[in-house]
Amino acid sequence: MQYTFPENFWWGTAASGPQTEGVFEGDNKGDSIWDYWYKESPELFFNQVGPEKTSVFYEKFQEDIQLMKETGHTTFRTSIQWSRLIPNGTGEVNQTAVNFYNEVIDELIANDIEPFINLYHFDMPMKMQEKGGWESRETVEAYVAFAKVCFELFGDRVKKWFTHNEPIVPVEGGYLYQFHYPAIVDMKKAVQVAFHEILASAKAINVYHEMNLGGEIGIILNLTPSYPRDENNPEDVKAAKAADAFFNRSFLDTAVKGEFPSDLVEILSEIDVLPIIEEGDLETIKENTVDLLGVNYYQPRRIKAKESTTKLAEGPMPDDFFDNYEMPGRKMNPYRGWEIYEKGVYDILKNLRENYGNIKCYISENGMGVEGEERYVNDQGIIEDDYRIEFVQDHLKYVHQAIQEGSNVRGYHMWTCMDNWSWTNAYKNRYGLIAVDLDNNHKRTIKKSGRWFNELAKNNGFEA
């Protein structure tokens, strides 16, 4: 069957500044929480590889943009590092960074690759973290000022902006499950952090719209459809709904509808962790919803009613309201430990169509991380990653089906272009269309999936 996508469908990949650029002496970048955390606790990072060992996009962006062309990109998403542009989080703008981001944006446009620019990809400047990071109202204002500087500097050419990538992740990682700095467990702080991210996003959207720059602004959410163990068991259904409220609707409803889900508010109030909200905040959130939505999809959640009595922490936790369910027979990515469930992307898009006004959206991340890909190198030195091609194709079939049924999906960004550094997992799992040899001057080699992606983009679809 032929899967053809709508005209002008965007094809490309997503990445982020902190995972690709590299940190170089003399460029005046300030530390982000990742730079700081790695210096403090390198043992937390896979093979003790830290954020300075990236794929050096900072040096090689021209070569990389040529490789994007060779692999069919019509768009590329990356982020501006706040701690590079404004090293102290507030105040002076780093001209070296301005020059760098200008060059990247100009080079993309000169090669007919539409830049999609995200403002926050887990990379709080350390100077702001010292003041409380997202726990603090000061950070909201500093972030909005940073966003404004970005719109002023680059908004003449960048027409697709995003306020956050996966804002639930710093909440989970930093304040519940300890895989991001500051790695504490505190539900009340977690909720305040989430609230401030939501507010900061709405304020940045407001600034952008007021500037009338003729582009669009949205947010990128990792949506994890929550399936109950047994759809006919009301307790399982209730548990799945709670997980959905915590991890999906918290940001989705606020971004698209400007409202907090009432069941989430009820739960947070019951456990006494409602955030501090100042006068006017709820109106700001209500009035400044997104123009478009980025959907990152990797895996679903399988949920059952709370059975275990073990508590993850002394205080309240989302996990007090559900248990994760290890569904027998589910297909897994063994390296990442994530379930592969292609239909999940269809369910997300159907939900957006039916319950979120069919908001304009695109798939902003989807991809497969694999450990030890060297073993798939053929005698021409090319990684034959058929599993990645199959993964993407199987998901695209469902995206295609959703579009046929009327979903408003405008493009697809695979995660990712070059193999890149990924937080505490460092280089454990490789996701790229293009391999990076860290021991050989970061040499780039297009994988089989990169050639396939080129055909996909050129044909605006595939046959399978």
Please state the closest distance from residue 140 (CB atom) to ligand BG6, in A. 22
User: Binding-site residue total for ligand BG6 (CB under 6 A)?
Assistant: 13
Exactly one of 3, 12, 16, 450 binds ligand BG6 (CB under 6 A); that residue is: 16
According to DSSP, residue 246 is labeled I
What is the spatial distance between Cα 240 and Cα 349, in angstroms, rounded to a whole number?
18
Q: Which residue has the tokens 């500097």?
A: 153
* Cα–Cα nearest to 135, from 192, 82, 88: 192
CA angle 313, 316, 321 (to 5 degrees): 105
Tell me the three state secondary structure of residue 442: coil
User: Is 166 near ligand BG6 (CB under 6 A)?
Assistant: yes
How far apart, in Å, are the Cα atoms of 39 and each of 36, 50, 130, 318?
5, 8, 16, 31
Cβ 429 to ligand BG6, closest distance in Å?
5
Is 92 one of the catalytic residues?
A: no
Q: Of the ranges 127-135, 319-327, 346-354, 421-429, which one interacts with ligand BG6 (CB under 6 A)? A: 421-429
Closest residue to ligand BG6 in the complex (CB): 422
Contact stretch for ligand BG6 (CB under 6 A) within 53-61, 306-314, 378-386, 422-430: 422-430
Shortest spacing between CB 125 and ligand BG6, in angstroms: 18
Q: Does 415 bind ligand BG6 (CB under 6 A)?
A: yes
Q: Which of 79, 129, 422, 445 binds ligand BG6 (CB under 6 A)?
A: 422
Of 429, 445, 449, 454, which one interacts with ligand BG6 (CB under 6 A)? 429
Residues in CB range of 267: below 8 A, 6 or more apart: 242, 245, 246, 321
Strands 434-437, 443-446: parallel, antiparallel or unpaired by DSSP? antiparallel
State in angstroms the smallest separation of the CB of 298 from ligand BG6: 7
Active site residue: 365, 373, 384, 455, which one? Answer: 365
Question: Residue 253 or residue 365: which is nearer to ligand BG6 going by CB?
Answer: 365
| CB-CB contact of 253 with 259 (8 Å) | yes
Window 86 to 145, contacts with ligand BG6 (CB under 6 A)? none
**Quick one: which of 81, 118, 165, 445 contacts ligand BG6 (CB under 6 A)?**
165
Contacting ligand BG6 (CB under 6 A), which of 136, 425, 459, 460? Answer: 425
Angle made by CA atoms 297, 352, 259, in degrees to the nearest 5: 105
Cβ neighbours of residue 104 closer than 8 Å, sequence gap 6 or more: 61, 65, 78, 115
Check residue 178 for interaction with ligand BG6 (CB under 6 A): no
**CB distance 120 to 204 below 8 Å:** no
Nearest by Cα to 105 from 70, 149, 143, 65: 65
Q: Does 248 bind ligand BG6 (CB under 6 A)?
A: no
Residue 427 near ligand BG6 by CB under 6 A: no
Interacting residues toward ligand BG6 by CB under 6 A: 16, 19, 165-166, 222, 296, 336, 365, 369, 415, 422, 425, 429
Catalogue the active-site residues. 365
